[in-house]
Amino acid sequence: MKISAKQYARGLYEAVQEKKDGEVKGVLKKFIEVLVKNNDFKKAKDVIRNLDKIFREEEGILEAEIVVASPLKKEMVKIVKDYVTEASGAKKVEVAERVDKNILGGIIIKYEDKIIDGSLKSRLSRLKMELAK
């Protein structure tokens, strides 16, 4: 039976769960040996990507992206962070901020597959459409 990259990743994640830091190295070595033995080393990249995903999922870490026209103040970032934490139910939220002059003003928040578009640009374009009717 073929083992998918996802299954490898989950297996590895569970294997290192109860290990102490010192033991992890050994587990990793064993894991790579298994990969080579199964002729699946080419999946290593996928395994790493999946591991990242599983880790975030299990630990409740969420990545969020905010797009603004000019850099936000610290307090503002915290408000956004708190909002996303509450809305998504994640334990921890990592916020990446991106400055994009094109949105003119306001803010766009992205997390998981959700998007909250509060930018001035999209509001103006909606107004334009409304007026054109």
Binding site for another protein (CB under 8 A): 87, 106, 112-118, 123, 126-127, 130-131
CA dihedral 119, 121, 124, 130 (to 10 degrees): -90
For the CB of residue 32, give the shortest distance to another protein in the complex, in Å: 26
Cα(96)–Cα(54) distance, rounded to whole angstroms?
Answer: 20
The two structure tokens encoding residue 44: 């290593």
Min CB(64)–another protein separation in Å = 13
Name the residue nearer to another protein (CB basis): 15 or 116. 116
**Of 19 and 49, which CB lies nearer to another protein in the complex structure?**
49
Nearer to another protein by Cβ, of 1 and 131: the residue is: 131
**What is the C-alpha to C-alpha distance for residues 72 and 81, in angstroms, rounded to an integer?**
12
